[in-house]
Amino acid sequence: MYHSKSILGATADFTTDMLQLSTSPFLKYPKRNTHKICFLIHSLYKQIMLKAMISTDKIKEDLRTRFIGRRLHVYDTVSSTNDVARALALEGAEEGTVIIAETQTRGRGRAGREWFSPRGGLWFSIILKPKIKAREVSRITLTVGVAVTAALNRQFNLNAEVKWPNDVLVNGRKVCGVLTESVTCDETVKMVVVGIGLNANVTLEEFSRSLRESATTLKEELKKEVSLEPLLCEIFYHIESEYVVFLKEGFAQVLSEWKALAAFIGKHVEVTVVGRKFRGVAEDVDEYGSLIVRLSDGSVKRVVAGDVKVRIV
Ligand code: BTN
């Protein structure tokens, strides 16, 4: 196996299968020519691989941002783009650096759940370094949710909505999830890694039966494959715009946009917090991104995003 890059299990490489194909020609040629043949075969496979890969050049052509996506790392396979991003951030990577992978072997979602990451999806993480307090980190998740939803609606004329705390829905089914992880010191945020998993060119048949009921993909909704690079650029643009509004003007503006896109404010919901369930009406989301649920006895519960599941009933 030839590795052109390797970080935390990341490879942008040629697989063993492909190299096996290349063994037979070696038998027919004198030894002195094998390096030339090897080079030719490598170039050929590289072209094939690059065709399949998300193109950094195409992204750079379309990019309309000042800092998000200006530094890009595109991998074929990583364990989790959030882990790669975190390692790069700790090594000093700049704010706005994006790590994209065609597939993840250990993609994760909220509350340690597995995140299915086959080829065709957009699996990426963004390094941010906002000057905020630890208790404000959930605001970043909501900010990114608004941005991804706006990007999908703009690019494809969809009617995507946000679902608390970190989902983007199309026709009531989850098309995207956001996983925000942070490093803090004394209540101050040192850096945030925002991981975004968007089921783009994935067919529903690839999902497990249980996921198929609640998930959807862009390919499924639009009945065609989408170009990944322009979509990424649109998402980067919206994330940067919303993030700058949040930092410069405060969270109120972003929160009101979030509420305007929210799928279930005012609806009856069932909330599961660490295995315990209760029902009520999802009344609001507060300035720290907590869900306010009114119970049948009139009392109010404030639910903090964490190991929480919410479903409309
Ligand atoms: C969720 O809805 O639970 C959040 C899912 C986040 C998945 C993305 S894919 C890119 C990044 N890397 C990961 O391991 N997870 C996030």
Q: At what angle do helices 251-261 and 228-249 cross, to 10 degrees?
A: 130
Which CATH number does the domain housing residue 156 bear?
A: 3.30.930.10
User: Which of 77, 79, 105, 108 to mutate to test ligand 1, by most ligand atoms within 8 A of the CB atom?
Assistant: 108
Residue 263 has pLDDT above 90, yes or no: no
- Closest residue by Cα to residue 280 from 290, 265, 260: 265
What is residue 7's predicted lDDT score, i.e. its pLDDT?
47
Q: At what angle do helices 228-249 and 137-156 cross, to 10 degrees?
A: 140
What is residue 27's predicted lDDT score, i.e. its pLDDT?
35
Residue 177 CA, ligand 1 centroid: distance in Å: 6
> What is the number of structural domains in the chain?
3
Residue 199 CA, ligand 1 centroid: distance in Å: 11
Domain check: are 206 and 232 in the same one?
yes
Domain check: are 85 and 103 in the same one?
yes
**Cα–chain-centroid distance for residue 225?**
18
User: Which of 98, 179, 217, 307 to mutate to test ligand 1, by most ligand atoms within 8 A of the CB atom?
Assistant: 179
Domain check: are 76 and 89 in the same one?
yes
Distances (CA, A) of 109 to 10, 21, 81, 282, 307: 19, 37, 12, 23, 11
Residue 82 CA, ligand 1 centroid: distance in Å: 8
Tens digits of residue pLDDT in 39-88: 566 555 544 454 458 999 999 999 999 999 999 999 999 999 999 999 99
Residue 155 CA, ligand 1 centroid: distance in Å: 22
Contacts of 165 by beta carbon, 8 Å cutoff, 6+ apart: 110, 138, 141, 142, 289, 291, 305, 308
Please tell me the distance from the alpha carbon of residue 101 to that of residue 78, in angstroms, as a whole number. 6
Domain check: are 39 and 73 in the same one?
no
Side-chain half-sphere exposure of 54, counting CA atoms within 13 A: 30
Contacts of 197 by beta carbon, 8 Å cutoff, 6+ apart: 107, 109, 115, 117, 121, 122, 123, 176, 177, 178, 179
Domain check: are 118 and 37 in the same one?
no
Side-chain half-sphere exposure of 230, counting CA atoms within 13 A: 7
Domain check: are 40 and 65 in the same one?
no
Residue 37 has pLDDT above 70, yes or no: no
Instruction: Let me know: does 293 contact 282? Beta carbons within 8 Å.
Output: yes
What is residue 309's predicted lDDT score, i.e. its pLDDT?
79
Which CATH number does the domain housing residue 278 bear?
A: 2.30.30.100
Domain check: are 176 and 99 in the same one?
yes
Residue 187 has pLDDT above 60, yes or no: yes
Report residues whose beta carbon is within 6 angstroms of any ligand 1 atom: 80-82, 104, 107-110, 113, 115, 117, 123-125, 166-167, 177-179, 195-197
Which range marks the domain in which residue 244 is found?
A: 56-261
Main-chain phi, psi angles of 101, to 5 degrees: -135, 145
Domain check: are 298 and 283 in the same one?
yes
Cβ count near 94 (within 10 Å)? 12
Residue type, 39: F
Tens digits of residue pLDDT in 216-255: 999 999 999 999 999 999 999 999 999 999 999 999 999 9
Residue nearest (by alpha carbon) to ligand 1 atom 15 = 108
Domain check: are 35 and 72 in the same one?
no
Domain check: are 109 and 89 in the same one?
yes
Atom of ligand 1 nearest to the CA of 104: 14
| β-pair partners for 43 | none
| Total H helices, total E strands in the chain | 10, 14
Cβ count near 208 (within 10 Å)? 10
Residue nearest (by alpha carbon) to ligand 1 atom 11 = 195
Residue 24 has pLDDT above 70, yes or no: no
Distance linking the first and last C-alpha atoms of the chain: 51
Mean pLDDT value across residues 111-123: 95
Task: Return the beta strands (E) in the chain as ranges.
Answer: 2-3, 13-14, 72-78, 98-104, 122-128, 161-163, 167-170, 173-185, 188-198, 268-273, 276-285, 291-294, 300-303, 308-312
Domain check: are 230 and 293 in the same one?
no
Please tell me the distance from the alpha carbon of residue 284 to that of residue 307, in angstroms, as a whole number. 19
Domain check: are 24 and 150 in the same one?
no
Tens digits of residue pLDDT in 132-175: 999 999 999 999 999 999 999 999 999 999 999 999 999 999 99
Residue 16 has pLDDT above 70, yes or no: no
Reading the block at residue 94, the tokens are 């700049």
